[in-house]
Each structure stands twice: as structure tokens, then as C-alpha cells.
Amino acid sequence: MSRQKADLILAVVSALWGSSYLFMKIGIESLATFNLIALRFLLAFVVTLLFFGWRLIQRTDRRSLWYSFLLSLILLAVFSSILIGLHATSASKAGFLLALTVVFVPLLNGIFFRVLPEPKMIAGVLLALIGIGLLTWNGGLSLESGDAFCMLGALANALYFLLADRFTKREDPVTLGVWQMGMTGALGLLISLIFEIPHLPSTPSSWFAVAGLGILCSAAGYTLQNIAQKYTLSTHAGLIFSLEPVFAAFFAFAFFGEVLPSRSYLGAGLVLISVVLMELPLKKRAYPGRLRQHQAR
């Protein structure tokens, strides 16, 4: 496969992941938070199991199951935060706020693993903070709950990347990916059974949302990304995935008619610039681009 074709596939994956905010926004209209998480990831687990079931039989061991469980706990935190946030904020704004993951990754890497920040990281963080302020400011100093939950989701997503980067060096990444989807779905179903009344989708739109999230965004998105990642540079992949919030805003406008204030678009632009800045290769370091390949969408 040529690098150009691989980059094109990654652009398709970025669009799929950008559409996930639209699907989640539709899904929460008729499904409770953990009910939707359970349906999404259990469906993705079944689909990927059909393709990689024999590989799981060959490569699953106690350590891979333990790593998958830890990752599934964090994935549950990521998507529950996003879904709760989407109840009180727009899909386009959620997409830009979750893009802050790329800024949080080197910050957490510095805190937990004592990796000194690069100048581009400092500049990216400053730009991101200004962008967040413009994107979320509502006339006062308070932060709306929906925006706060989306930022919490970005922070959890960054923690997921740091752990996934280390776990996939020790275990087969496909095995971890399939098991973590199944475990995330099982945990979501358990919590839904305790605190909600889980049920199957009852409307065509909710079925559409679950199918889009499970088949397109999770099963197909992860599979295509893993294939294409072998044939392109990590910096290319990171820059392409930076388009995800742009796709999220496009789908939100096309299907919901969401239009943010001009101030918010300026803030979103600064967030996007900070993400791109974090991906630019000033030094040869693996984690910004490589960690993006593990992103959950």
C-alpha cells in the first residue's frame, strides 16, 4: 500500500470518528448513557470477534486480559464523560474540546514519567487555554457542566493513550483492542442494569446511532486505522487525526444546524492550531503521533 493511499484511509477514519459525536448526540435522545455505551461496544466486540476470533484464541493470556480490563475502565470514563457532556453542550464544541487530548498527553507524560516539556508543548498549552476560554465562555467566569465533562473526557483519553502505548508494546494490540471493547461494553451493561433500565433501541434513529457507533466508528474505524498506520508516518497520522473536530463541526452543522458564535469558532480554531502544533515534528519523539493511533472513537 502506498503512503498516499494510507493517508487517504486515515482521513476516512478521521471522518468516521468525527461523525461519532453526531451519533452520540442522536443516541442519547432515547438511550441512557451507559445503555448506549453497552450497545456500542458490545456490537463492536461482536463484529471484531468475527474477524479476529482465532487471533484472540492464540494470543490471549492472563496479562492481556488484565491490561484490557484496565484500558476498558478508562474507556468507560472517557465515553461516559463525553455522553454526559453532550446533554449540555453541542456536538461541534464537544469535538474541539476532546481534541485537547493531544495537549494533555505530554502534560501527563511530564507529570507521571518526568519527560521534560518541549517548547512546542508550552506554546500549544497556552494556545489551547486561550482557545478553551473563547470556546466555553458564556458571559461569566463559570464553566458550563457539559464543557467541563468533555474536558474531563479529554483528560481521561490522554491517560488512556499513555497506558495503551505501554501495554501494546508488551501484548498484541489487536488482542487488547478487541477485548477492551468487549469489557467496556460489559461494564457499561452492568452499570446500566444497576442505575438505569437498559433496553434495545426503539426508534430507527437510535438504531442508526448504535450501528454507526458500533460498526463504523469502533469496529471499522479501529481496523482501518491499524492497517493504514503501518504504511505512513506517525506525524502524518497525527496531523490527519487533527481534522477530527473539523469533521465533528461539519456533521453537527449538516445534520443539526449547529452554529457556534464567532467567538467560539475563533476559540475552536486556536484549539485546532494547538493540536497541530503539538503534532509538528520538532524532535524525533514517538509518543504524540503513536499515541493517536490508539484513540478511541
pLDDT tens per residue across span 13-35: 888 888 998 999 999 999 999 99
* 220-239 pLDDT per residue, tens: 887 777 667 667 655 556 56
Helix axes 101-113, 119-136, angle to 10 degrees: 130
**Residue 297: inside a domain:** no
Query: With contact defined as beta carbons under 8 Å apart, do 23 and 212 qualify?
Result: yes
What dihedral do alpha carbons 259, 265, 271, 276 form, nearest 10°? 100
**Residue 195: inside a domain:** yes
Helix/strand/coil percent split, the chain, to 5? 80, 0, 20
**Residue 90: inside a domain:** yes
Helix axes 62-86, 173-195, angle to 10 degrees: 50
State the pLDDT at residue 140: 53
Helix axes 3-27, 244-256, angle to 10 degrees: 40
How many domains, in total, are found in the chain? Answer: 1
**Residue 135: inside a domain:** yes
> Picking from 96-105, 139-148, 191-200, 266-275, which range would have the lowest pLDDT averaged per residue?
139-148
82 closest CA partner among 179, 32, 154: 154
State the pLDDT at residue 234: 52
Dig out the grid coordinates for 296 from the structure.
478511541
State the pLDDT at residue 266: 84
Residues 236 and 58: their CA atoms lie apart, in Å, by 32
293 has a pLDDT exceeding 90: no
**Residue 83: inside a domain:** yes
State the pLDDT at residue 230: 63
**Residue 158: inside a domain:** yes
* 121-145 pLDDT per residue, tens: 677 777 777 877 777 666 554 567 7
275 has a pLDDT exceeding 60: yes
State the pLDDT at residue 294: 46
What pTM was computed for the model? 0.82
DSSP 293: T
Query: With contact defined as beta carbons under 8 Å apart, do 237 and 229 qualify?
Result: yes
Residue 96 is part of which domain span? 3-292
Number of H helices, E strands in the chain: 14, 0
Q: CA 75 from chain center: how many Å?
A: 9
Query: Could you give the percent of the chain with pLDDT greater than 90?
Result: 33
16 closest CA partner among 37, 39, 38, 44: 44
